[in-house]
Structure 1
């Protein structure tokens, strides 16, 4: 028996697909397809918030420099305001790696609910629903490979 995918809730082998305790024999599956749900505005808003968090200190630094020049104060005050603005802008550095990591994870998870469906014993059955795009892709490819390898080879007919 070959295992194509295995985690806590999904196992795909050369004979069965097990999802959340339900087992489907590959010999009973005749077709596999997937569906994508609508976009999650919550996920998109989260990505926007991360972008704003990345841009915020830089905008504050530029505004601070603009204010320092606009005020026409003494050189000491102007240098202090510009220096503080630059320090605020530099604050992006250590935080940027953390924020970019969260942004990358957001894209890996995706912004839609994804479903895997199968025709099992002649009836459509939803095997899996997840918002994690990376996991969905791994499971979907594993099910496809398992179904392809479980079907007997058909003889090639030439005309």
Structure 2
């Protein structure tokens, strides 16, 4: 499982401050399979956030979910630095801001530093099977299928 997780945490050529690596596409699930994993993980995130009373995170997750699925699935794009990405067809919603806001609400503005955000994410994502089993990384982004190459980014260093 450690090897599998390591395979997931590769970086894109445009990720600053991280050694650039390219991964073989042989072991990576299709965009459709990844979208399904992300879809299920996203629903799990909403459940876990509600269960742990992280209301802001749950609310934002639901809002973004509705936007992605029901309103404008083609209008959303990937960013390079995100702790969580949900994608069904190559577009994505990003919960970095929601996670930061939830952290500030829980811990106070002065404590919403990178380590605290990562701790919050670890606590939440640890309860989501796709993340706890190493199938997805909360610090993983993926380029849209239209890209020449699928690019992966372990943006742990950049999440702040």
What range is the shorter-chain TM-score in?
under 0.3
Q: TM-score, normalised by structure 1?
A: 0.25
Structure with the largest fraction of strand: 1
**Structure with max Cα Rg:** 1
Instruction: Compute the TM-score of the two structures, normalised by the length of structure 2.
Output: 0.25
